[in-house]
Structure 1
Amino acid sequence: MSELLREIDREDAQWALEQALLTALGYQRQEIRNMAGENASTGPVAAAVPIDRARRQLFTILLGEEEIPELRLTELARSARWPLPDTVRAVALASPCEVPQLAAAFGNALVSPVEGELCLLVPDPDEDREALEGLLRGRTAAVGHTVPLSDAGSSVRWARRLLELTPPGAPGGGIGGGSEGKVLFVDDHLSMLLLLQDESLAAALSSRWLGPLAELTPRQSERLEVTLLAWLEGGGAPEAAKTLQVHPQTVRYRLRQIEKLFGSALRDPRTRFELEMTLRGRRMLGQIRRHRTMAGRRARAATAGIRPLGVAREARVNGL
């Protein structure tokens, strides 16, 4: 046995151990073979080990930025038994549970962890939104946009970023809201992902364009910010009043204050555009930070409620 173990590649041994654990947890051997790309007519599980390793390598290569010779890519795809598709779509999962079943449900998907998060590459994704939501129901996941195979890394990157910007366990859905058990789509948040791809740039925008509000109290600044954003998005005082659920005259009064602070800059289309981007980004970052804080408090409260076993035993011994 020791001689056999020395001859087995470390990655192959790790793969075999993972599959054994999955089987022990109740997964069917056929589902494990589906995940590795092996069909019912293929040989024993040991024969599928090189296939799984080729698939991991193929996933890594597709996510890389270096251009890979077409012949090398074709050879690796053949070893992985994964016909090269024209387009792919990424799915990033917050939890790796039920991976074999999920990979089988999506068909011939590549599966690999990316910096601790499990991701799938779905070839030639032609499923509609409802079908994708059905496959992922009950899971916390982000679905990337459809891209050419050569740009697979982009779909993975933005799906993972969407999960990162949407903390789990908080109310809501989408960027800044909770993602617990939610299926999020990059296509729904393109503008916000673009705006928040660098939080330091969002902060720089705020510093540049919201300087006139710096001398106000936090409450005054927040009130004028939400009014200005509602006016920019709605196009007028009546529309802003409906959004804010206040009287139109209240909005007009605040707009006069805003005009005194910003002056003629508000009449410039480019300034209005950048102000709207700034305020949207500032709002979303504020929501994200609040939900992260709430999630952290809940986690600390849950941990505080767990009493170590040693304490419980001591209490019983002392008759308390």
Structure 2
Amino acid sequence: MRALLDHIWLSPRELPALADEVADALLDRVSAMSALPEERRRAEMRSEVEAALRGALSRPEPETLAEGDGEYGSLTRERARQELFAALTTGPALSEESLASLAPLAQRAAWKLPTGVQAVVLGAPGELRFSTDTLGDALIGITDGRPCALIPDPDPEARPELRRALPRGRAAAVGHTVPLADARSSLRWARRLVELAPDAQVLFVEDHLPALLLLQDESLVRALSTRWLRPLESLKPAQSARLETTLLAWLEGGGAPEAAKTLKVHPQTVHYRLRQLEKLFGPVLRDPRSRFELEMTLHSRRLLGQVRDVQARISRRARTAAMALRPMDVAREARVNGR
């Protein structure tokens, strides 16, 4: 079983075909499934098998260390690399002593411990391989069913090569460069970014640091909104949205002319809205600290709205795909039942 997992860990495209083979082999032995139509039986069995294999891949079994010399017994090179990836990316932060203790495992994995690493995460299951000529000997692993990689001592100028190396048409996020002992931090933020923006594009954490900081906790965003935007609650939604947009443009630009350019409206329109905002917020708009918190609140709300829009589009596409497949499933079952 371990050899099988080692194989499909590095070649996840083979997993569906393997699940088909296992499902075919098991169908004759599962009497509880015999009352179901053949196609439905096979589909359900295949789904269960594939889910079990993916679950096993996301939770690698710990190896037993050899006694005495501290070396990692009979681990294969690929299994040692998987264990090393898990040791670097899970659990508490690594101390210098803990990092030094991984040297025998790294030697077994034929992976030279680098000074720093950069995490890469795919948004969905898929094959993840890199050329050692351009990006070094990346350490590949799986976290929560997502293929991940740790790029050793990354070159900050290698973004184009990294983009080309990732699968096309797939969502991916690239973490910030961190010391090896803090590899889990780069992985954590790359995972968070790919969850926030799951469209088919490659995103870099370093380009989205403010968004990631502001969106760490939606409940805090709501608390900020309740505290600072209460004066807008009495307005109609359309008017509130206009004033909120104008206020953010004014805070970002530093003045009415700049806000007018951003909003593509006449400066007098901005002046009129600012007079309304002055009546609603009063001296708050003249206090530097209050202005900073207001701008942070408005940025958070805008980013959260963008994330929700993206997630809503994905949900709509998924529902559309499911509805398109449903007639095919009905027709298939009808054929199986002879109707």
What TM-score results when the alignment is normalised by the length of structure 1? 0.78
Provide the rounded CA distance (Å) in 2 between the counterparts of 1:232 and 1:20: 51
Q: Is the 8 A contact 1:167 1:288 kept in 2?
A: no
Matched ranges for 1:25-174 at <5 A: 50-63=76-89, 64-67=91-94, 69=97, 70-100=99-129, 106-126=135-155, 127-136=157-166, 138=168, 139-168=170-199
Using a 3 Å threshold, how does the CA distance of structure 1 residues 100 and 22 change in structure 2: closer, same or farther? Answer: farther
Corresponding pairs, count: 277
From 202, 223, 227, give the equivalent of 1:183. Answer: 202
| % identical equivalent positions | 53
What TM-score results when the alignment is normalised by the length of structure 2? 0.74
From 226, 232, 235, give the equivalent of 1:213. Answer: 232
Displacement of 1:76: 1.4
Provide the rounded CA distance (Å) in 2 between the counterparts of 1:166 and 1:285: 11
Tell me whether 1:311 sits opposite 2:338 in the alignment: no
Using a 3 Å threshold, how does the CA distance of structure 1 residues 21 and 222 change in structure 2: closer, same or farther? Answer: closer
Counterpart in the other structure of 1:31: none
Q: Which runs of 5+ in 2 are unaligned?
A: 17-73
Larger deviation, residues 280-289 vs 59-68: 59-68
Displacement of 1:95: 3.3
Tell me whether 1:12 sits opposite 2:3 in the alignment: yes
Deviations 1:276-303 (A, max 9, x none): 1100110111111122112211211221
Tell me whether 1:248 sits opposite 2:267 in the alignment: yes
Q: Is the 8 A contact 1:15 1:49 kept in 2?
A: no
Displacement of 1:185: 0.6
Letter in 2 for 1:264: P
Counterpart in the other structure of 2:282: 263
SS of residue in 2 equivalent to 1:99? coil
SS of residue in 2 equivalent to 1:142? strand
Q: Is the 8 A contact 2:78 2:109 kept in 1?
A: yes
Q: Is the 8 A contact 1:90 1:155 kept in 2?
A: yes
Letter in 2 for 1:65: P
RMSD: 2.8
Q: Is the 8 A contact 1:56 1:112 kept in 2?
A: yes
Q: Is the 8 A contact 2:13 2:127 kept in 1?
A: no
Provide the rounded CA distance (Å) in 1 between the counterparts of 2:135 and 2:149: 9
Larger deviation, residues 78-87 vs 126-135: 126-135
Q: Is the 8 A contact 2:123 2:198 kept in 1?
A: no
Counterpart in the other structure of 2:60: none
Deviations 1:14-71 (A, max 9, x none): 214656886899xxxxxxxxxxxxxxxxxxxxxx962222212211111232435344
Tell me whether 1:299 sits opposite 2:294 in the alignment: no
Q: Is the 8 A contact 2:123 2:195 kept in 1?
A: no
Tell me whether 1:282 sits opposite 2:301 in the alignment: yes
SS of residue in 2 equivalent to 1:297? helix
Q: Is the 8 A contact 1:241 1:248 kept in 2?
A: yes
